[in-house]
A and B are shown apart, each in its own frame.
Chain A
Amino acid sequence: MNKRIGRLGVVFGILYLILFAQLNRVQFFGAERLRENPINTRGLIREFGQERGPILAADAVVVARSIPSSGSFDNIREYPEGELFAHVVGYQSLNVGATGLERQYNDELAGSSIDQQVRSLGDLFRHRDTTATLNLTIRADVQRVARDALGEQRGSVVALDPRTGAVLALWTWPTFDPNPLAAADGASANQAYEDLLADPANPLLAKSFRELFFPGSTFKLITATAALTTGRVTATSPVLPDSDSYQPIPAGRPIANFAGATCGGNLVEILTVSCNTAFAEIGAEWVGPDSMITTAERYGFNDAPPIDLPAAAESRFPTEYGNRLADVQFYRADEVNEEANQEANQGVDPPELPNGDVGVYEDTARLSQVSIGQNDVAASPLQMAMVAAAIANDGVLMSPYVVSNLAAADGEIYSSADPEIWRVVSSRAIAQTMRDAMVNVAESGTARRLAIPGLVVGGKTGTAQLGTSPPNSHAWVVGFAGQPGGASEVAVAVIVEAQDGASEQTGGRVAAPIARAVIEAVMGVS
């Protein structure tokens, strides 16, 4: 009988070997395929229900947290501040996915980044909270001021710390409440999402950094910077004659000032009154396409800002102006002052290219228009805040960021944002000239409503005309503020979309008070 018992042993061996092989197939070799099977909702539900670290504003206000749930999921995500941080933090939804920081920092919040896993290797059997706390640079108090000041007007508010690039406020109205989207009840979450999608005002879109608008006269800051970098233009010369109309070269519709006004003067003067005719001439005849393009791109146009939020919009500056017309050239070509150019661009790498002359191109007329922020130029509110920030920070443009640091559950900070220089836009001297000019605009120009007693405030308004019947425009203001004798501590950009009226005063009247409120909140004055 023993021979048969031995055979029985072999049979059992084979049977268990089959089980062993199948176990390996299911748990190892074919496991990936099973995990990715569309019917398999385990991964989704686990990810949605797992505990995530909280997200805190710079002033320690909790803007997102996981709360234990007794339903189908272990945890659900709650946004105690509702809409206030919706466009920054985004949401984590089972049905419609994740957006904003919830998406960008998914691994860290969930505690599944390589770094966090390595840190928790030591406790294989102890359940340790590996989730990270996300600390923002945005201040909830400033954000609330921006919300209240803008009110129920379509528009955006961006505030940055020019010295570091830290975002202090990032607000757009209309917005949405992320809580219904994060609900455990899939059907109601879906319905909330459908409703938001169907809303023509598109509240889901964070227009502050994901939408482009005509920048209007705020773009003159870029034209002025470009003019200074050529070395041909200084704060005091040339002095352009007063004019109420500029005839583009070689041909085109004449460019007029708001309300048919007559203006002229040196660079500071024309910036103060936001003189269209003078800037159209400066851009086309004194700067030329190469320098305009270079300067605009140094400020960040034609590139996405390196912000740590998904899908930031790339602001647009036209780069095509047709062929150069060989037989025509601006008479100022021989007035290039090589020495002045080098001095103006000290410390900028690479230094501005002094090509000696400014030619006339088939589309130079278009250059006149973009020089005053019309035609094809388009910028996000974040981009315009970055322009003000670069000027306020001695020509050095910092990379904007919203996440200040990541802290482990035990409070230990393990990853901090290092302020990084993104671009050197201009020399310190040019930035200083621009800064002074903007202070002048706030003291005696179109941005008077921005001025705050006791602070050094600079600004520039803009009114981007959308139509004339009825008159309709975006009201803009950009600016900065700091203590007298100190560095600027805040740069802002405010746009209020599609306002009635189209006078140069619109930006100063509508947008400046909002910017002023935000500056006061940041600086702690009232």
Chain B
Amino acid sequence: MILVGRMRRAWRAVDPAGLGRIRPEIAALRPRRVELGLIAMVGLVFIFALASLSGTSTLPSTLGPFLAWMLVLLVVAHVVTRRFAPAADPVLLPMALFLNGIGYVMIARLTGDVDGGSDLAGLQAIWTAVGIAAFTMTLILIPRTRILARYRYLLGLVGVSLLALPLVPGVGRSINGARIWASVGPVNFQPGEFAKIALAAFFAAYLVDSRELLRSRIELRDLAPILLAWGVSLAIMTFEKDLGSSLLFFALFVVVLWIASERAVFLTIGSALFAGGALMAWSTFDHVQQRVDIWLDPWADPRDAGFQIVEASFALADGGLTGTGLGRGEPGRVPFAETDFIFAAIGEELGLAGSVAVLMSFLVLVGSGLRIALRARGGFEKLFAVGLTTLLGIQAFVIMGGVLRVVPLTGITLPFVSYGGSSLVSNYVLLALLMRMSHEQRTVAPGDRP
């Protein structure tokens, strides 16, 4: 009830939820007009791509309503921003919606081509709606980012608990060899996707506190936090067999620590610890060894172990510059084309043009995120923006690099693009937080000095 009341008040308020006046140098709602234009373009591209799919018979008959549904969501997302973060950076949301849309088109196209994929497009449309809802809720419930700093230890605890949740007997589930799923009642989700945001907030708040200490000197006990993070990473890898999350989590901590302390030595220590952990994992775990072997030479066993990587490279090569055209390739030949390998499916059917567009969108998101970090007035906001951006940028890099054999393959999703509810919802929350911070920079909050 409290929540509902708060939301209702937020919606009605002239200065909703005390979000502050837009700074005079930013013309009122100008960012939103830019955003609307960009979203309109995304919508057009989206309609055009889906229309081109209709020439092939691979689509479910229910596609029409889903198409309308997705377009409604684009508009809803924009209206929400207009209301609750009117001054925020106009590029972030269109980029995310573009990635979400291109992913949705590929998922709709893959429906029927992948195992158990009869209803993927419908489910992804629902997840997108849940994602936009989460985006809205985040903007409403967190009118000021600093609120999060207040709950740092709670967030830290929540983050670690979520990370450990899949290990709880009766709740955790193991799918495709990785124990990263939790079942609560009828709901299956990947708690790690949400843990990363909570931990980013915790790290930012914790490190902004100890920043002065870290900057002045390094004693042995100052290394405790980094060692702890390292230990938790190793634990994730050992017990959940989740290389991707382990890497992501550790990279997040090291990067935020480095920015906070402004000491390159932490980067060195972090790299050393990473190398040590990697070596240890490689010598201890068969599956890690296998991943590395495949990475070094997928052609050694192209029919079995290296199949996925080899097929992905064939798919990308088939795409060439302009792609085979939607619905005309065979992306379904690559296992997990709708999740981990959706980047290969995009490269195959939309060509280098499509894959580079995805790559550039992530780079724009990372750029915008870092710009928000640069402009942030408070230390916590700065570090939090860096953390969230790092999460997004590293996760996209690790999975795209894995598909392209730049780095060993780790099974994580491509943010906004891959099929999957947890990933989509958590990344919309992440986006909302970045936009909240962007809005704050561009407004004069009540109580702030002008």
Q: Which residues of B contact A37 (CB under 8 A)?
A: 314
- Which of B314-371 touch A at CB < 8 Å? 314-321, 325, 327-328, 330, 333, 347, 351-352, 355-356, 359, 362-363, 366-367, 370
Q: Is the CB of A1 within 8 A of B314?
A: no
Q: How many whole Å from B52's CB to the nearest CB in chain A?
A: 4
Asked if A42 meets B382 with Cβ closer than 8 Å, knowing A2-B374, A23-B356, A27-B355, the reply is no
Cβ contact within 8 Å between A1 and B259? yes
* Residue among B56, B255, B313 making CB contact with A8, cutoff 8 Å: B255
Quick check: is B15 within 8 A (CB to CB) of the other chain? no
CB B54 to nearest CB in A, in angstroms, measures 9
A16 touches B362 (CB 8 A): yes
Q: Is B367 a contact partner of A4 (Cβ separation < 8 A)? A: no
Q: How far is the CB of A410 from chain B (nearest CB, A)?
A: 16
The contact of A12 among B303, B321, B352, B366, by CB within 8 Å, is B366
Judging by beta carbons under 8 Å apart, are B370 and A27 in contact? no
Which residue of A is nearest B405, CB measured?
Answer: A22
Determine if B352 and A16 form an interchain contact, defined as CB atoms under 8 angstroms apart: no
A253: chain B residues within 8 A (beta carbon): none
Across the interface, do A1 and B401 meet the contact criterion of CB distance under 8 Å?
no
| Chain A, interface SS category | helix
Known: A4-B259, A4-B262, A34-B313. Contact between A23 and B404, CB under 8 A? Answer: yes
Question: B401 touching A19 by the CB < 8 A rule?
Answer: yes
- Measured between beta carbons, the chain A residues less than 8 angstroms from B34 are none
Known contacts A8-B390, A15-B397: A23-B313 contact under CB 8 Å: no
Interface residue total, chain B, C-beta cutoff 8 A? 53
Binary contact readout A25-38 vs B (1 if CB under 8 angstroms, 0 otherwise) = 01110111011010
Task: List CB contacts (< 8 Å) of B255-308 with chain A.
Answer: 255, 258-260, 262, 299, 302-303
Contact for A40 among B314, B321, B370, CB less than 8 A:
B314
The interface size of chain A toward B, counting residues with CB under 8 Å, comes to: 35
- Complex CA gap A13/B389 in Å reads 13
B386 within 8 A of partner (CB): yes
A4 CB to closest chain B CB, in angstroms?
Answer: 5
In this assembly, does A329 line the interface, its C-beta being within 8 Å of a C-beta of chain B? no
Q: With contacts defined as CB atoms under 8 Å apart, how many contacts are there between chain A and chain B in the complex?
A: 118
Which residues of A have CB within 8 Å of B347? Answer: 23, 26-27
Residue pair A42, B51 in contact (C-beta under 8 Å):
no
Q: Find chain B residues with CB under 8 A from A30 CB.
A: 317
Determine how close the nearest CB of chain B comes to the CB of A86; give it in whole angstroms: 31
Residues of B384-401 at the interface with A, using a CB-CB cut-off of 8 Å, are: 386, 390, 393, 397, 400-401
Q: Are B374 and A6 in contact (CB under 8 A)?
A: yes
A27 adjacent to B374 (CB under 8 Å): no
Other-chain residue from B48, B386, B404 in contact with A5 (beta carbon distance below 8 A):
B386
Beta-carbon contact of B262 and A1 below 8 Å: yes
A1 CA to B382 CA in the complex, in Å?
Answer: 8
**Cβ of A23: which chain B residues have Cβ within 8 Å of it?**
316, 347, 352, 355-356, 359, 404
Consensus secondary structure, chain B interface: helix
Are A22 and B355 in contact (CB-based, < 8 A)? no
Cα distance A12–B364 in the bound complex, in angstroms: 11
**Do B259 and A8 touch (CB < 8 A)?**
yes
In the bound assembly, the distance between CA atoms of A151 and B110 in angstroms comes to: 52
Contact B48 A19 (CB under 8 A): no
Report how far A360 CA is from B327 CA in the complex, Å: 75
By a CB distance below 8 angstroms, the chain B residues around A22 are 401, 404-406
Contact mask for chain B residues 26-63; partner A; CB cutoff 8 A; 1 contact, 0 none? 00000000000000000000001001100110000000
User: Given A1-B262, A16-B397 in contact, is the A127-B319 Cβ separation under 8 Å?
Assistant: no
Query: In the assembly, what is the distance between CA of A22 and CA of B259, in Å?
Result: 29
Contact of A125 among B51, B310, B359 (CB under 8 A): B51
8 A Cβ contacts from B120-161 to A: none
Contact present for B406 and A28 (CB under 8 Å): no
B406→A18 contact, CB < 8 A: yes
Alpha-carbon distance between A156 and B259 when the two chains are bound, in angstroms: 87
Nearest B-chain residue to A9, judged by Cβ: B370
B404–A125 CB distance below 8 A: no
Quote the shortest CB–CB distance from B209 to chain A (angstroms): 14
B237 is an interface residue with CB less than 8 A from chain A: no
Which residues of chain B have C-beta atoms less than 8 A from A5's C-beta? 259, 370, 373-374, 382, 386
CB of B29 to closest CB in A, whole Å = 28
Neighbour of B317 across the interface among A8, A13, A34, A127, CB < 8 A:
A34
Contacts of A125 in B (CB 8 A): 48, 51-52, 55, 325
Q: B44 to chain A: closest CB distance in Å?
A: 13
State whether A27 and B316 are in contact (beta carbons under 8 Å apart), knowing that A20-B356, A125-B51 are contacts in the complex.
yes
Partner of B319, one of A1, A2, A18, A27: A27
Judged by a CB distance under 8 angstroms, whether A202 is at the interface is: no
Bound-state Cα–Cα, A45 to B330, Å? 10
The CA of A325 and the CA of B197, in the complex, are separated in Å by 106
Q: Which residues of A contact B55 (CB under 8 A)?
A: 125-127
Establish whether residues B330 and A46, one from each chain, have CB atoms under 8 Å apart when the complex forms: yes
Say whether A259 faces chain B, with CB atoms less than 8 Å apart. no
Shortest B310–chain A CB gap in Å is 7
Q: Is A24's CB within 8 Å of the partner chain B?
A: yes
Complex Cα spacing A30 to B405, Å: 14
A114 within 8 A of B: no
The answer to whether B352 and A24 have CB atoms under 8 Å apart is: yes
Question: B313 contacts A19, CB within 8 Å?
Answer: no
Q: CA A31 – CA B327 in complex, angstroms?
A: 20
Q: Given the complex of chains A and B, what is the CA–CA distance between A222 and B36 in angstroms? A: 85
B333: A residues at CB distance < 8 A: 42
Are B374 and A31 in contact, with the CB atoms below 8 A? no
Closest chain-A Cβ to B119's Cβ sits at a distance in Å of 19
The CA of A131 and the CA of B431, in the complex, are separated in Å by 47
Contacts of B401 on A, CB cut-off 8 Å? 15, 18-19, 22
Closest to A125 in B: B52
When the two chains form the complex, which single residue of B299, B359, B382, B405 contacts A20, counting CB atoms closer than 8 Å?
A: B359
> When the two chains form their complex, are residues B356 and A26 in contact, meaning their CB atoms are under 8 A apart?
no
Q: How far is the CB of A468 from chain B (nearest CB, A)?
A: 61
List 16 additional contacts besides A27-B320, A27-B355; criterion CB under 8 Å: A8-B390, A9-B370, A12-B370, A15-B401, A18-B401, A18-B406, A19-B406, A23-B355, A24-B352, A26-B313, A27-B351, A31-B317, A34-B317, A46-B330, A125-B55, A126-B52
15 chain-A/chain-B pairs, Cβ below 8 angstroms: A12-B393, A22-B401, A22-B404, A26-B316, A27-B319, A27-B320, A27-B351, A28-B352, A30-B317, A34-B313, A34-B314, A125-B325, A126-B52, A127-B52, A127-B328
Residues of A within 8 A of B (CB): 1-6, 8-9, 12-13, 15-16, 18-20, 22-24, 26-28, 30-32, 34-35, 37, 39-40, 42, 45-46, 125-127
